Structures are given as structure tokens and as C-alpha cells.
Structure 1
């Protein structure tokens, strides 16, 4: 393989990005070189941009929701070929711990993600391990293919919550993940999908992709509204997709007895206080959901029937990564998914 120069975007101090220039190393037998065609800014990238991501201290490269073209493969790769359009599951696992050996690689004792390892996808190229590279079907564009990663996060959360036919669920936060959780809850058979946010425009879009009831938390008391909608019982399942203590409290206080809260948001302030007696009096369960484990194929299949293109609100060339990040950080921009294209 000829020497290839690669630009990789890095947040080096809060709210500031720069490009690192590197040479692409010779591929190992199990590696694939992907030329990035579309890379989406994720909520975790915004936590990084503020210098407040609890697991990714600065400086750190950003970008892990992406799609592109396979331009080279290692000698042992047989699942993809040069020229294919692909997306990549950007996790790094050891393959040796008990969880990995049982196939539960999402619980790997050493799990990390490519961007935290210096291989962010706000770049011209990404080197990926072949087992985590998936071909894009014809119904996905590069832009929507870049959204398979966040859709997989939502898929994983909904699968962990075991959302069932006829259930009522509450999603707190109508960002991209929250809206995708709403879409996957509907696909899983939830009869009533309530979503709460402060943005009317986001709530309107959430109704288009799967939510059945939208509540503006800035104008209504969420706990009272949920009680009214459920006859005082509460919801079967709740999803916290913001990462704030107040939202955590809403997620547990709106649950019916024996309900389950799934926490998906990233907490810049990780310490929360809540009434522990609720765990006993209502026998509720609180669990987390991070990343994915065998969820990419499910998300790719589900994407056939989802209007993922609605999530893409802004597009920038890679050279304008700083402007792209500023737009995603600006609540006034009404951005949902900002796509960067080398």
C-alpha cells in the first residue's frame, strides 16, 4: 500500500479543534482501510468539546459515527472487499476476557472506543478491524449510513429494557438518541411512546419518527403529565437520554411499580442524589446502556423503514470542522445531526 497522509480532527482544549497529520500504517491481516465519506457529530463529541466527558480527557480525537468506502484490506480479510460502501462499529475489545469469550463483548473488561484511542473519524481515513466493518445496503446513503452507530446505541438501550408489546414508555430528551429510542420502542411494539424535551421543533420531529405523545417540559410538569396519561400508574419503561440529575429523577419517579429505568445519557456531573426508598417501595430497576453488542446488524435492518435522512440538518466539509462543532454546540442552530464530509 502506498504511503497515505491522513488528517484527524482533535479537540485540544475546550471548544477548540485542530488537525493532526499522520501516515497510515501498513495494514495487519485483520484490518480494513476506510476512506471516510460522512462523519456525524455525536453528543459525546459535544461533551468532549466542552472538556467535560468523564471518560475522554483532552486532548482527544473525535468522531465515531461514520461511513465510507473500503480502499484496502489486510491479507486475512474476507467479509468486505475494496470498493464496498461500509459503516464501522467503533469499539475496541480485548477478545480474551470472560465477557468477550462468552460473546458479550459489550461488557469487555477493557472496552474502549476508537476515538479515545486516537483514531477519530473526523478524518480522511480510518483503519478498522474487519469483524466490525459492515457493508451498507442500497437503501442507505453515506449520510444515513453514518447514523447506524447512534441507531445501534438506541437499539441496544431498547433491547436491554426489553420493551414489549403494548407497553407505555417515556423518553426524556429528544436529541438524536432519544428520537431513535422512540423509533425503536415503536418497532418493538410499545403502544404509547411519550417523549419530553424543551424544544418544540425536536418534539415535532420525534412524533414523525415514532413517538405518540410529546410533552414540552418547559411548559408542563412532566411527572404530573405522565400521571395523567397513565391514570396515576406511571410508565412501564423510561429512558434517560440527557445526562442530568433532574432528568434522572424524572426517569425514576415516573415509573410504575416494578418498572425499569434505562440511563443512556452521559453525565458531565456524575454524582446524583435520589430517594433510595423508591427502589424498595416501588421495586423499580435502574440500569445503564452504553454502546452496543450485536446491535449493528439489527440497526441496519431497522434503518430500511426509518426516515434517518430527517436527522441530518447541517453538512460541512472536513476543513470546516470547527464551524461544524460550533453549530452542533449552538442550541439556537436547531441542529440534530451535523455531518462532516472529507
Structure 2
């Protein structure tokens, strides 16, 4: 079977992999779509310290089960998405239900082989069946949207809540989409005019560059840019008693402790999701006709054109780039 192979940062190729035999609890999945994520770009560029090389990339995965081990509860032919972060179930954090920060967590495409291949094998405990009738273009967004669903559980966002989303990459756009669906009043902040225009056109939000925000403050600020200045601004523009939810990853930032204390601001760190709960909630949202996520995907590119797909994803000028592994698309 063919799959992508990242020898070293920046050195990616398409190569033949041997098929793996199944353990009793595993399933073999034939890939339909694979989304290129910010962490995939980070591994590709050599910017994630715990990444391993060589590695097969890919963790936003949608496919169909084509083989199932004896202990798998999932049947052949089931359409599925993948939870790509392992958890041991035995460490103190897992026992507390915090499987997203398991002390022994490994992540597909980062420090263990991912799924950007025609077929891949994974434990059935990391597989979620989804309705066959759900459009593939919505289903492939379940994993990245689950990140936002998890983050939104930290702060109350309902009709009329004033929300600022800092950073309009994929996770920022997904945050805008969910906040819009929940009836929030949204301001999107980014330095990229094209992304702001797309967010305004798609969801009718208020666009702003960082320097445009003067004295305005917000009930909830979602930081999805992952840069020092954005984290600092996120805290600065949160109203007294408000909440900041940090989704982006930046090594450090300078925070005004006196302001945080005097204004009783609440800062939440939010990493990935709980499985299956956050995935099931995400699936519920995606089943709703009024939940608009179509603008998130910028292009769907055959996996054989992986170089073009990665160039587009790395450029930062596009939304979500999807690799298409459906063979009928390439015949």
C-alpha cells in the first residue's frame, strides 16, 4: 500500500508500506480523507520538539473498516473517524478521567506512525463509527472540531455572549463557526486580511486587526493563534470577570498578573479532547443543518499530489487542506 513518509523535516515522499496483520482488538481502515493539521505542518517543518523521524504523518482521518480483529466491536463496512492520541487508562490522570493529558500519551503522525496511507491499522478503542449518510467533507472535520468543542466547555458561550476569536486558522475558524451556531456576538482578530474577509463573508462576524481593538472588551476570548502577542492581547481584551481559553501553543508570554487578579479573570488551558464524549458532541453539531462549516475546507487534493497539498498548507494562505485517498477519484 502507498503512504506518505517523512524522512526528516522537509523531506517527504510517497512510498510503499507493507500491510500489517491485525491484533485481536484492532481494525484495518481504508482511508477516505485525511486533513492536514497545524501539528502536521509543525512536524514537517521540524518545529515540534517531541516529534520522531522518520514517520508516516497524518491524524485527521476518515475511512471505512475493511478488516476487524476478533475482539473489535466494530464491523467491516463501518464508516469511522479516528481519535489519534493514545491513553493508557491506568495512570493517575487517566483514572481521574483526564485521558487527554495521559502521562503516556502518543500522537499519530507526531511520535508514532500516522494514517496518511491507503490503509492503516489501529486499536478499535480509538475508532468512532459515524453515519454513512454524513457527507465526507463534514465528517473529516470531527477530530479538529472536537478540539474546539472541548475548549468551549471551559467557558459559557450562549446567545448574546460577546466572544473574540484571536487567530483565524482552522481552529479559529471552527471556533467562529461554533460560536456563530450558539448565537454569540463574534469579533474575529487576525493580521491576515484574506482570512478576516472569509470569516466575515461566511459567518457575518465583525473582523478586526489586532491594532483595531482599542477599549472594547469581551466576555470570552478564544486564543487560537498560538503566538506571544496574541496571548497577551487575549488577556488584555477580556472584560472583568471574563474568561480566556488558550487553544494555541506558544512557548511563553508576559501576562499582567495584577490585572488578572484584580479583574478576576479566568485563564483556561485546553488541549485536544475527551474521547468519546467530545467526539459525540461534535458529531451532534455536525448533524445540524444550521451548523455552517463548509467554508473551513479550502481544497481537496489527491494524495498523489501531496507536495502541492503540503505547500498550500504550509503557506498559511488557505483554510483546511484535505488529502483525498478515494481511489475512484484518481482513476
Task: Specify if TM > 0.5.
Answer: yes
Task: Indicate conservation of the 8 Å contact 2:80/2:129, yes or no.
Answer: yes
Task: Indicate conservation of the 8 Å contact 2:106/2:112, yes or no.
Answer: no
For residues 49 and 204 of structure 1, do their structure 2 counterparts lie closer, same or farther at Cα, with a shift above 3 Å needed? same
CA drift at 1:135? 2.2
Greater shift in the superposed pair: 20-29 or 250-259: 20-29
In the TM superposition, what whole-angstrom CA distance separates every residue of 1:305-330 from its partner, at most 9, and x where no partner exists? 33333322222222221221011112
CA drift at 1:31? 1.2
Greater shift in the superposed pair: 60-69 or 139-148: 139-148
CA drift at 1:42? 0.5
Q: Does the alignment pair 1:318 with 2:303?
A: yes
CA–CA separation in structure 2 for the residues paired with 1:250 and 1:211: 23
CA drift at 1:139? 4.6
Task: Indicate conservation of the 8 Å contact 2:57/2:108, yes or no.
Answer: no
| Residue 168 (structure 1) aligns with | 162
Count of paired positions = 321
CA–CA separation in structure 2 for the residues paired with 1:54 and 1:211: 38
| Residue 212 (structure 1) aligns with | 205
CA drift at 1:20? 5.1
CA–CA separation in structure 2 for the residues paired with 1:208 and 1:33: 40
TM-score under structure 1 normalisation? 0.86
Matched residue of 2:171: which SS? helix
Task: Indicate conservation of the 8 Å contact 1:179/1:209, yes or no.
Answer: no
CA drift at 1:118? 2.9
In the TM superposition, what whole-angstrom CA distance separates every residue of 1:55-99 from its partner, at most 9, and x where no partner exists? 425444321112111101110112x21112211111100011233
In the TM superposition, what whole-angstrom CA distance separates every residue of 1:197-225 from its partner, at most 9, and x where no partner exists? 133332233245546322134xxx2431x
1:126 aligned to 105, 115, 120, which one? 120
CA drift at 1:54? 3.8
CA–CA separation in structure 2 for the residues paired with 1:186 and 1:22: 43
For residues 216 and 272 of structure 1, do their structure 2 counterparts lie closer, same or farther at Cα, with a shift above 3 Å needed? closer
| Residue 308 (structure 1) aligns with | 293
Matched residue of 2:154: which SS? helix
Q: What is the RMSD computed on CA atoms of the aligned residues?
A: 2.1
Q: Does the alignment pair 1:62 with 2:57?
A: yes
In the TM superposition, what whole-angstrom CA distance separates every residue of 1:95-122 from its partner, at most 9, and x where no partner exists? 1123323433223222221223432122
CA–CA separation in structure 1 for the residues paired with 2:181 and 2:170: 17
| Residue 329 (structure 2) aligns with | none
CA drift at 1:292? 0.8
TM-score under structure 2 normalisation? 0.89
| Residue 292 (structure 1) aligns with | 273
Which runs of no fewer than 5 residues in structure 2 stay unpaired?
326-331
2:194 aligned to 195, 201, 211, which one? 201
Matched residue of 1:338: which SS? strand
CA–CA separation in structure 2 for the residues paired with 1:150 and 1:188: 18
Matched residue of 2:110: which SS? helix
| Residue 155 (structure 1) aligns with | 149
Task: Indicate conservation of the 8 Å contact 2:29/2:67, yes or no.
Answer: yes
Moved over 4 A (4+): 208-211
Which runs of no fewer than 5 residues in structure 1 stay unpaired?
1-5, 229-233
1:88 aligned to 74, 82, 92, which one? 82
In the TM superposition, what whole-angstrom CA distance separates every residue of 1:217-236 from its partner, at most 9, and x where no partner exists? 4xxx2431xx24xxxxx211
